[in-house]
Structure 1
């Protein structure tokens, strides 16, 4: 069975062109989302379409960006289709995972998505390292204010109080105190190297 999916981003846009192309491609049923952005994969029409698919079916869109805008998400969805024995076809881009050429195009898209994922990860790690070098805090905000952190350092380093004792007085978990002291040690090592 051939199932189609059509989507427009705004209420003013029409689905007529997509419906016509999907009917011409042989779709027996067309699922729609009207006025919903392609950046989200949580769409009622799309979810209904994905749930209606069975092994051996073909899922057809008029254009690839009707399914989604993120290459990474598109690759995940199309990989899911392959695992469920569902063919995918995009009419405008001539992608058809039932044909060798269509599978080649899809594999090239998957390779590009993996490359994009690697670049994002690499840039993120580099940015985090640079932020650490500049002494910026990464992650969620500290549980203790700067004055409280100074008091913790004084209690532990000068008064030789235990971590659990200081944690109790500050009304935080002992791990919070341990992390603060570990971070201080890391900063000292980084500054001395």
Structure 2
């Protein structure tokens, strides 16, 4: 049946565009693409499940199959990529990345997912995406994140990352530097870090507030 290349594209929030990924896949000659906008934190990605299932079926029918993705980060966290690699390897399906640290075509038997730099980069991207998702939720609800206005996206991302390394609030505060406002160049206090992390967690886990009813809605 020849060589079949199936594409997959993903954005982590509804506001992010898939255009760059879709254009990249089209330029690479991939005509069958599965795409979705699903949070990095989601445990299920329906379109990814579909394309992997189809790849298995096509491979079982005798075709040579490759799953093509713009960049490895689109597949989620490092643990997600490792699990997918094992799944594809068991099904004898190849994997190709069009850009990034793992750019190139990888044979199903190839071991390419132990590259430390690539995997650590995926974790940083995961932290960044999770932070952006929480902040987008906060904006929809009319709130801001930030411990007295000293936090920015990078500071929140770094604080979350350091917390996951089981560092204390005092040690996290010592690693962070305020980049804006009257306190620029100083370290935030442990109390500010605690509040910043608490607000991040609340916003990341909160559901969007229901839309207010339109005045006069439902009136004859």
TM-score by length of 2: 0.44
Larger Rg: 1
Structure scoring higher RCO (CA < 8 A, sep ≥ 6) equals 2
